[in-house]
């Protein structure tokens, strides 16, 4: 029988075509000892000591390929980063695929290869997975779900309860790159070749930070949908403390600013996929900044604000004009699917 | 960013602010100078750059009716709802319009119920839809001021040229000077000066505002949308008020000519005719609307389809009308932030990105910052 070029409903039936797909596409890319037996569940060796961290996320980005990344890279990085900001060492991932009938198998292969490469870069293994096929029109090419398991080493404790007044807030680089790269691709606009998604696994960077300054790092969050403004509002609310931001210190790429201007958007609300905000004790802030800036994923890191006792639950932005304005959480904007 | 950063220079902005404050201090009788920014884009820029609080006490800014979505009459929206529910009709419009409540619901509600409503970024997209679906009737719901109307006019002519028979426009376009007159004639709010809409004036010209000093004795400064643009306009208005020398000042000369854009004006004259229009918050204003002229009658959805709409009263307690006329500020409305929010908008000023209520909500106006 000739091998089909496109995904058929039969690829999800559990029969011969399903097996072929798993063998030729998934197993080839993701090969590892846990996956190889193709059992109903992956068995993992003894985990390192610490608290178990478990997370899951679904990825529905359109287009599947965008400048600086694709849905596959995103599906690994997003889940790895969710574990890493908790202070966990990411170890194992699962991968679930919902494929639309008619999807080119070559497209799937490119995505799966990208996932394998990114997983290797992040030092995680994909140990189990699932594939379903839905009728043409019932999914936008493909949707991916990944779940991740990691271990938080003993002694690491991050969270809103650790925030202290005068803690400084650091970010590892420019904001809005992912959101604007995807938007521009969707709208068919070009604002210069440098407009690329920042999709990247942050576990190595954050592990270095935690190893260098144990106890001084109080909280971390990856900055994804809703952008910097939304994440910091969540912080302010859950810690019931105020956050002060200095507009001029927030790094924004020139191309991103231009694209935002053009579309009437605010970079503070634009999505990221390789950015993290870190709350660090004031006396350790310089050292933390150095650790971030030494790593390629933090070369443009900056101190952008601080925790304060004024305006609890709110984020206040100091503008270059001397005005202070409250920055809200994203409300009701109709943005396309970006992650 | 070239052509933007020059107009955002913080040092220059601080100088202008100091200059404005100094001028008012030297003329205590004019304090606070009450100005209206007609345009919703200005309202948002003023909040975004924090200009209101920088001038608080000396300059009192009132938001005007310059949000096309907000001033669209509920009955007109209801007509669009009826049109969209006609089988075979595809109704195309801008994103903001689908969320605005008419008397009988919103376009997004009937879309969820099966009506074919499509969001477009430009009227050109609506014409493309008509080309792709020759067996369907495509109606573009045209909403906007003198700024958007020329683009619609161009598309109407293009549809004629390309003989695309299944494309029509429900024109709810409006003219801005008549609304400005209506506010001043009503005398509900005492205004010392007007910040003229920048993009509208790029089309109609700064001279179109001469009636403000001539008839009403107040100055008008046409402004751009960057902080230095707005501060220059405010400084010019404060000066004119202090020196009692009303006139029309063009502080946006890089976009606005005294006579405006001749090509765009001709386009408007060819395709549209001026007639009365219903404004939400105002009621009917004579000679304030643009409908398709007789030459383009076949493209006029209002003539092409018979639509009857039952009038429905405005939602109880909603004071969008007074907000649009500058009589009250959004926080003065009892629904504001309590029952009415961007997630659950009751009136149109909370729906549109250009609406004054949405701006006050987004920037937390009225909530003290320590």
Looking at the fold, whether B262 and B217 belong to one and the same domain comes out as yes
* A261 reaches B (C-beta below 8 A): yes
Q: What's the pLDDT score for residue A330?
A: 75
Residue B26 DSSP SS3: helix
CA distance B306 to A191: 46
Which chain B residues are closer than 8 Å to A331 by Cβ?
341-343, 361-362
Q: What's the pLDDT score for residue B368?
A: 63
CA–CA–CA angle A132, A136, A142 (5° rounding): 50
CA distance B285 to B104: 23
Domain architecture of chain A: domains with CATH:
9-152 (3.30.1330.10), 160-327 (3.90.650.10)
Looking at the fold, whether B71 and B157 belong to one and the same domain comes out as yes
Measure in Å the smallest separation between the Cα of A310 and chain B Cα atoms. 6
Interface test with B, best of A241, A323, A331 (most B CBs within 10 A): A323
Report cis status (omega within 30 of 0) of the bond before B32.
yes
With a CB cutoff of 8 Å and minimum separation 6, the contacts of A257 are A267, B1
Q: Residue B71 sits in which domain range?
A: 1-319
Q: What's the pLDDT score for residue B172?
A: 96
Looking at the fold, whether B201 and B307 belong to one and the same domain comes out as yes
Looking at the fold, whether B107 and B170 belong to one and the same domain comes out as yes
Q: How many domains does chain B have?
A: 2
CA distance A238 to A221: 13
Q: Taking CA atoms, what residue in A is nearest to B121?
A: A187
First to last CA, chain B: 32
SS (H, E, C) chain A: CCCCCECCHHHHCCCHHHHHHHHHHHHHHHCCCCCCCCCCCCCCCCCCCCEEEEEEEEECCCCCEECCEEHHHHHHHHHHHHHHCCCCEEEEEEEEEEEECCCEHHHHHHHHHHHHHHHHHHCCEEEEEEEEEECCCCCCCEEEEEEEEEEECCCCCCCHHHCCCCCEEEECCCCCHHHHHHHHHHHCCCCCCCCCCCCCCCHHHHHHHHHHCCCCEEEEEECCCCHHHHHHHHHHHHHCCEEEEEHHHCCCCHHHHHHHHHHCCCHHHCCCCCCEEEEECHHHHHHHHHHHHHCHHHCCCEEEEEEECCCCCCEEEECCCCCEEEECCCCCCCCCCCC
Looking at the fold, whether B71 and B205 belong to one and the same domain comes out as yes
CATH number of the domain encompassing residue B205: 3.40.50.11740
Q: What's the pLDDT score for residue A322?
A: 87
Q: How confident is the model at residue B150 (pLDDT cuts 50, 70, 90)?
A: very high
Query: Is B369 among the domain residues?
Result: no
Judged against a pLDDT cut of 60, whether residue B139 lies above it is answered with yes
Residue B364 or residue A284, greater confidence? A284
Looking at the fold, whether B56 and B144 belong to one and the same domain comes out as yes
Residue B177 DSSP SS3: helix
Length of chain A: 339
Query: Is B370 among the domain residues?
Result: no
CA distance A159 to A156: 10
Query: Is B274 among the domain residues?
Result: yes
Residue A315's nearest CA partner among A249, A251, A252, A230 is A230
Phi, psi of A252 (to 5 degrees): -135, 130
Q: What's the pLDDT score for residue A334?
A: 44
CA–CA–CA angle A259, A262, A263 (5° rounding): 90
Query: Is B143 among the domain residues?
Result: yes
CA distance B315 to A287: 58
Q: How confident is the model at residue A314 (pLDDT cuts 50, 70, 90)?
A: very high
Interface contacts (A, B; CB < 8 Å) = 61
Q: Do B54 and A323 touch (CB under 8 A)?
A: yes
Of chain B, the percentage scoring pLDDT greater than 90 comes to 81
Query: Is B367 among the domain residues?
Result: no
Query: Tens of pLDDT along B296-349?
Result: 999 999 999 988 888 888 888 899 999 999 999 999 999 999 999 988 888 889
Residue B116 DSSP SS3: strand
Q: What's the pLDDT score for residue A336?
A: 44
Q: What's the pLDDT score for residue A191?
A: 64
CA distance A96 to A171: 31
Q: Determine the average pLDDT of the residues in B30-37.
A: 96
Query: Tens of pLDDT along B83-137?
Result: 999 999 999 998 888 888 888 889 999 999 999 999 888 899 999 999 999 999 9
Looking at the fold, whether B207 and B129 belong to one and the same domain comes out as yes
Which residues 318-347 of B have a C-beta within 8 angstroms of A? Answer: 341-343
Query: Is B300 among the domain residues?
Result: yes
Q: How confident is the model at residue A2 (pLDDT cuts 50, 70, 90)?
A: low
CA distance B247 to B241: 10
Query: Tens of pLDDT along B178-206?
Result: 999 999 999 999 999 999 999 999 999 99
Out of A314, A319, A334, whose CB is closest to B50? A319
Judged against a pLDDT cut of 60, whether residue A332 lies above it is answered with no
- Could you tell me the CA-to-CA distances from A232 to A140, A239, A267, A313 in Å, in that order? 32, 10, 14, 10
Looking at the fold, whether B154 and B244 belong to one and the same domain comes out as yes
Q: Do B50 and A321 touch (CB under 8 A)?
A: yes
Looking at the fold, whether B345 and B218 belong to one and the same domain comes out as no
Q: What's the pLDDT score for residue A261?
A: 84
Residue A294 or residue A34, greater confidence? A294
Query: Is B249 among the domain residues?
Result: yes
CA distance A259 to A181: 9
Residue B261 DSSP SS3: coil
Kindly report the pTM of this predicted structure: 0.84
Looking at the fold, whether B46 and B26 belong to one and the same domain comes out as yes
Looking at the fold, whether B288 and B191 belong to one and the same domain comes out as yes
Query: Tens of pLDDT along A48-82?
Result: 999 999 999 999 999 999 999 999 999 999 999 99
Query: Is B261 among the domain residues?
Result: yes
Q: What's the pLDDT score for residue A339?
A: 46
Looking at the fold, whether B50 and B67 belong to one and the same domain comes out as yes
Q: Determine the average pLDDT of the residues in B258-264.
A: 97
Q: What is the mean pLDDT of chain B?
A: 93
CA distance A144 to A71: 8
Query: Tens of pLDDT along A104-160?
Result: 999 999 999 999 999 999 999 999 999 999 999 999 999 999 999 999 999 999 999
């Amino acid at each position: 029988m000739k091998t089909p070029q496109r995904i058929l409903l039969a690829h999800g039936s559990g029969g011969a075509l399903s097996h072929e797909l798993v063998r030729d596409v998934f197993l080839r890319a993701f090969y590892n000892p846990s996956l190889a037996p193709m059992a109903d569940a992956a068995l993992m060796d003894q985990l390192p000591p610490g608290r178990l961290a478990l997370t899951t996320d679904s990825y529905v980005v359109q287009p599947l390929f965008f400048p600086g990344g694709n849905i596959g890279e995103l599906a690994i990085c997003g889940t790895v980063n969710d574990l890493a900001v908790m202070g966990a060492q990411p170890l194992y991932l699962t991968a679930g695929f919902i494929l639309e009938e008619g999807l080119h198998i070559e497209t799937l292969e490119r995505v799966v290869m990208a996932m394998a490469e990114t997983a290797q870069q992040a030092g995680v293994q994909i140990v189990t997975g699932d594939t379903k096929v839905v009728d043409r029109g019932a999914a936008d090419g493909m949707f991916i779900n990944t779940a991740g398991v990691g271990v938080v080493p003993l002694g690491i404790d991050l969270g809103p309860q650790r925030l202290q007044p005068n803690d400084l807030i650091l970010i590892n680089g420019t904001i809005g790159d992912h959101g604007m790269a995807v938007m521009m691709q969707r709208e068919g606009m070009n604002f210069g070749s440098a407009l690329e998604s920042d999709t990247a696994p942050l576990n190595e960077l954050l592990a270095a930070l935690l190893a260098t300054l144990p106890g001084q790092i109080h909280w971390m969050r990856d900055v994804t949908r809703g952008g910097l403004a939304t994440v910091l509002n969540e912080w302010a609310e859950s810690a019931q403390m105020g956050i002060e931001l200095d507009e001029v210190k927030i790094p924004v790429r020139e191309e991103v600013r231009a694209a935002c201007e053009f579309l009437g958007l605010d970079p503070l609300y634009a999505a990221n996929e390789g950015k993290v905000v870190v709350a660090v004790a004031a006396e350790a802030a310089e050292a933390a900044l150095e650790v971030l800036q030494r790593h390629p994923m933090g070369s443009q890191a900056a101190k952008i604000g601080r925790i304060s006792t004024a305006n609890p639950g709110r984020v206040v932005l100091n503008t270059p004009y001397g005005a202070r304005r409250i920055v809200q959480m994203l409300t009701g904007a109709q943005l396309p699917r970006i992650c | 960013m070239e052509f933007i950063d020059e107009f955002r220079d913080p040092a220059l902005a601080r100088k202008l602010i100091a200059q404005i404050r100094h001028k008012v201090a030297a003329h205590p009788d004019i304090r606070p100078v009450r100005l209206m920014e007609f345009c919703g884009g200005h309202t948002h820029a003023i909040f975004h750059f924090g200009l209101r609080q920088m001038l608080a006490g000396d300059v009192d800014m009132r938001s005007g009716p310059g949000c096309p979505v907000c001033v669209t009459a509920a009955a007109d929206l209801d007509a669009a709802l009826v049109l969209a529910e006609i089988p075979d009709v595809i109704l195309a419009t801008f994103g903001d319009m689908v969320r605005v409540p008419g008397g009988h619901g919103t376009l997004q509600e009937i879309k969820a119920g099966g009506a074919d409503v499509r969001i477009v970024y430009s009227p050109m997209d609506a014409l493309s839809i008509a080309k792709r679906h020759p067996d369907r009737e495509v109606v573009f719901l045209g909403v906007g001021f003198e700024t958007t109307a020329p683009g619609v006019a161009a598309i109407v002519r293009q549809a004629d040229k390309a003989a695309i028979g299944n494309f029509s426009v429900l024109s709810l376009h409006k003219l801005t000077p008549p609304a400005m007159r209506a506010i001043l004639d009503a005398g509900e709010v005492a205004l010392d000066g007007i910040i003229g809409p920048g993009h509208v004036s790029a089309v109609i010209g700064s001279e179109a505002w001469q009636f403000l000093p001539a008839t009403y004795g107040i100055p008008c400064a046409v402004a751009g949308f960057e902080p230095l643009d707005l501060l220059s306009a405010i400084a010019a208005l404060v000066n004119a008020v202090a020196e009692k020398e009303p006139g029309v000042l063009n502080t946006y000369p890089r976009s606005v000519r005294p006579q405006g854009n001749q090509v765009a004006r001709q386009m408007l004259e060819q395709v549209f005719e001026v007639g009365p229009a219903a404004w939400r918050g105002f009621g009917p204003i004579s000679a304030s609307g643009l409908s398709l002229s007789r030459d383009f009658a076949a493209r006029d959805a209002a003539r092409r389809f018979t639509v009857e709409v039952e009038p429905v009263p405005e939602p109880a307690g909603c004071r969008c009308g007074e907000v649009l006329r500058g009589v009250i500020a959004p926080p003065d409305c009892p629904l504001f932030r309590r029952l009415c929010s961007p997630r659950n908008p009751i009136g149109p000023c909370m729906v549109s990105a250009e609406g004054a209520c949405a701006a006050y909500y987004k920037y937390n106006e009225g909530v003290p910052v320590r």
